[in-house]
Structure formats: C-alpha cells, structure tokens
Structure 1
Amino acid sequence: MSNLILIAKIDIKETFASKWFLFYLITFAGLIAIFFVTGVVDSRVAGFSGLTRMLLLFIQICIIILPIFILITTVRSINSNREVGALEYLLSFPISLKEYYFGKALGRAFTIFLPILLALILSLFIAIFKDTAIPWGLFFYYTLLLLVLSFVFLSFGFLISSIIKNSELGLGFSFLFWLFLLAFLDLALIGIMMQSLVNENIIYAISLANPIQIFRIAAISLFDPNLAVIGPAAYFILDGFGRVNFLIYSAAYPTLLGIICLVAGYISFSRRDLV
C-alpha cells in the first residue's frame, strides 16, 4: 500500500510540473471567471439564472472538452514512462505491477479531479458573492456526474495505454474513440432508425450505453425533468427507468464501466511485454 501511495505521489509531482496540467487548470478556472465577467450569473435564459445558468453553460462545455482532455493526458501515463525508460527503472525496485498501475491511476485521478473541483468551488464563491440562490441538490449531483464522467474516461485512457504501447498511436486511437462516442455513434443510430426496421427501443438502449450520452441526458434532466428537448427518447427513459432511477443509473453505470475498464487495463498491462 505504501508503494502505491508513493507511485501516486510521484505521478502527481510530475503532473504538477507539466504544462498540460497548468493549461487544464487554467481552462476550467478560466471558464468560471469568464462566466462571471460576462455576467452569466446575472442573466436569465429560458427561465435559468444564477448558479443554475452558470452550471448549464458549464455542462455544455464539459461534454465536449472534458473527455478528450482526460484521454489525451492519461493515454500517455504509462507509455511515456515506458518510452523514456522510467518504467523499467521503477520496476527494478520492490514494486509490484499492481502497485505501479493503480498508483499511476490514483495519482492521475487526483490531478484530473482537482481542477474540476476547484472550478466548482469557485462557482460557489461567485454565487455567494453575488447573493444568488444555490441549488445544493443540483450542485452536488452535477459534481458527482462530472467526477463519474472523469473516472470512466480515465479508465478508458489507462486501458488504451495498456493495450497500445506507442504513444502516438495511442493518442490517435483516443481521438477517434472520442469522436465515435461524441458524434459518430449518435449519427449512426439516427441513420439506422431512419433506414431500417430496427426497434427504436433497441437503438435507445444502445445509445444509453454511451457514457457521454448518459452524462448529457442526466445533466439535461436536472434542468428539464420532462426531457422535452430530446424528443421521443424521453418516453423510453421516463417510462423505462423513471427520473430518479435514471439519475441513479447515470452515476452507477459509468462507475461500473470505469472499474471494469481499469481492471481490464491492468490485466492487459500485467500480461504483455512491459518494455
């Protein structure tokens, strides 16, 4: 256990010294600052105002940038050590593969979660400073959704890093995987629905296996309980799950998927040539 914490600390120190982390931190803190400067907290659009309005904008941005940010940074976590020879050096010490792998995952999780949490805390301070109402239930659940989304893409990154040894290939595959989840999957499902006789419930079920789609719909449901903006799919979700059960599913399924991918990545890492 001590070695796992040691590896996590090493990874955290390396990340804090890297330029990508500074850019990552500034991006999320800067978004909140921009919302404050441009008066988003004071505006009202479609009935949303204050912190709710700020979180609504933050949701739309996170859906796009958060997954790719996490993928391109975590997919190099093991490969970068492998390519510079640090992996072979670290494993020459009495450190097991499990301690190294999960220590890296723990350290990377900390550095990914930290800027998100700081940005959300900053939004709270802004709301308090502006003397606006704070929807605490919505805020805490949305924070949970962000952490769950971050965790599942962290796991995807480690799985890719364990399977694909070359960093450049890993980055390319990560980008294509992100595009597939973000756009191609939805477009393909719409095409199938329009051109074939596949039952729409099957298509909706496949779509809800996409963690980005789940995050998007769960976030929308916090502001629009009837899910009117997603059309007929709302009937499948509300009738099949119910709003409360869907919110639970939105947090539980990506967490379980992330655990499976993280463990699968470790199995691949431990069974393949390390260098």
Structure 2
Amino acid sequence: MKNLYLIAYLDLKESLRAKWFVVYSLVFGGLIALFFIAGVTESQVMGFSGLSRLLLMYIQITIVILPIFILITTVRSISGDRDSNVLEYMLSFPISLKQYYWGKVIGRFITVFLPVFFAMVIAIIYGAFKGAAIPWNIFFLYTGLLFAMSSAFLGIAFFISSFVKSSEVALGLSFFIWIFLLAFIDIALISLMMQERMSSGLIIFISLINPMEIFRVAAISLFDPQLTVMGPVAFYILDSMSQSVFVLVSIGYPLILGLVFAFLGYKIFEKKDLV
C-alpha cells in the first residue's frame, strides 16, 4: 500500500511540474474569472441568474473541454514511461505491476479533477462574498457529475495507454475517440431517426450510453427538471425514470464505465510486454 501511494505521489508531483497542468488549471480557472468579469452572475437568461447562470455556462463549456484535456494528458501516462524507459527503471524497484498501474491512476485522477472542482469552489466563494444565493444542490450534484465523467475518460485513457506503445498513436486514438463521441454519434443517430430505420427509443438509448451525452442531459436536468429544452426526447427519458433517478444513473454509469475500462487496461498491461 505504501508503494501505491508513493507512485501516486510521484505522478502527482510530475504532473504539477508539467506545462500542461498549468494550462489546464488556467483554462478552467480563467473561465470562471472571465464569467465574473463579463457580469454573467448579474444577467438572467431563461430564468437562470446569479451563480445558477454561471454554473449553467460552465457546464456547457466543460462538456466539450474536459474530456479532451483528460484524454490527451493521460493517454501518454504509461506509453510515455515506456518510450522514455522510465517504466523499466521504475519496475527495477520492489514495486508490483498492480501498485504501479493503480498508483498512476490515483495520481492522475487527482490531477485532472481538482482544478475543475476548485474552479467551482472559487465561484461559490466569490458568489458568497458578493451576497449571491448559492445553489448548493446544483453544486454538489454537478460535483458528482464531474467526478463521474472524469473517472470515465480517465479509465478510457488508461485503457488506451496500456496497449499502445507509441505516444503519437495514443494521442491520435484519443483525439479520434473524442471527436467520435462529440460529433459523430449525434450526426449518425439524427440521420437514423430521420430515415426511421430504428425506433426512437433505441436511438435515444444508444445516444445516452455516450458518457458525454448523458452528462449533458443530466446537467440540463439540474436546471430544467422537466427537460423542456429537449422537446420530445424528454418524454422518453422522464417516462422511463424520474429526474432524481436519472441523475443518479448519470453519475453511476460513467463511474462504472471508467472503472471497467481501467480494470481492462490493467489486465492488458499485466499480460503485455512491458518494454
């Protein structure tokens, strides 16, 4: 257990020294600062104002930015150590493969999750200082959604990194997965729905197994429990389960998905040639 925490600490320390972590932190912290400078908390759109309005905008941007940041910064975690012979050096010490792999997972998760979380904390502190009403329920639920989505894409990234030897190939594959989840699924499903080749319920189900899509819908449901902005899709979702159950599923599903991919990545890493 000591070696596990040591690997996590070393990965965390290495990430904090990296330039990508500075950019990563500035992007999300800068977004919050930009929203305050632009007076977002003082505006009102579709009934949302104050910190609720700020979190609503933060959600929409995070859906796009967070997955690609996690993928491109994590996918080289193991493959990069393999390329630079750091992996061979680390395993020369009395450290098991299990301790090395899961230590890297823990360290990298802390690195990718904390900047996003602290950006929201800064928003809450500044909002409280300004006397704005704090939507604690939205804050905690959104924290859970961010935690789950970070877990999902972190697991996918480690899965890729476990079997791809070249860092360049790993980056290309991660970018393709991001593009596929972000754009291709929606385009393909809309085409199928227009041509009526599949039932609407099946198409919506396929769409919701996309972790980015289920995160987006759950985030909308926090501000619009009836999902009125989604039109007929809302009837299928809310007829299948209540809004509270859907939010719990939206947190549980990406979390389990990330753990499954991380475990599969470990099994591949355990049996594959290490160098």
Q: Same fold (TM over 0.5)?
A: yes
| CA displacement at 1:242 relative to structure 2 | 1.6
1:63 aligned residue: 63
Cα distance in 2 for partners of 1:190, 1:26 equals: 36
Residues 20-59 of structure 1, C-alpha deviations (whole Å, 9 max, x = no match): 0000011111111111111111111111111000000000
Contact in 2 for aligned 1:76/1:167 (Cα 8 Å): yes
* TM-score for both structures, normalised by structure 1: 0.98
What is the total number of aligned residue pairs between the two structures?
Answer: 275
2:188 aligned residue: 188
Helix, strand or coil: the match of 1:176? helix
Deviates more, 1:190-199 or 1:139-148: 190-199
Counting only pairs closer than 5 Å after superposition, residues 107-256 of structure 1 correspond to structure 2 as 107-256=107-256
| CA displacement at 1:197 relative to structure 2 | 3.0
Cα distance in 2 for partners of 1:175, 1:220 equals: 26
1:20 aligned residue: 20
* TM-score for both structures, normalised by structure 2: 0.98
Cα distance in 2 for partners of 1:129, 1:38 equals: 17
Cα distance in 2 for partners of 1:59, 1:5 equals: 32
Cα distance in 2 for partners of 1:231, 1:170 equals: 38
Cα distance in 2 for partners of 1:207, 1:96 equals: 39
Helix, strand or coil: the match of 1:16? helix
Deviates more, 1:187-196 or 1:246-255: 187-196
Residue 56 of structure 1 aligns with an amino acid whose one-letter code is L
Residues 51-83 of structure 1, C-alpha deviations (whole Å, 9 max, x = no match): 000000000100100000000000011111111
1:30 aligns to 2:30 (yes or no): yes
Deviates more, 1:171-180 or 1:196-205: 196-205
Percent same amino acid among aligned pairs? Answer: 54
Residues 65-105 of structure 1, C-alpha deviations (whole Å, 9 max, x = no match): 00000000000111111111100000011100000000000
CA RMSD of aligned residues (A): 0.8
Contact in 2 for aligned 1:36/1:126 (Cα 8 Å): no
Q: Deviation above 2 Å: which 4+ runs of structure 1?
A: none
2:78 aligned residue: 78
Contact in 2 for aligned 1:68/1:175 (Cα 8 Å): yes
Cα distance in 1 for partners of 2:80, 2:27 equals: 24
Helix, strand or coil: the match of 1:34? helix
Residue 95 of structure 1 aligns with an amino acid whose one-letter code is I
Residues 218-245 of structure 1, C-alpha deviations (whole Å, 9 max, x = no match): 0000111111111211111000112111
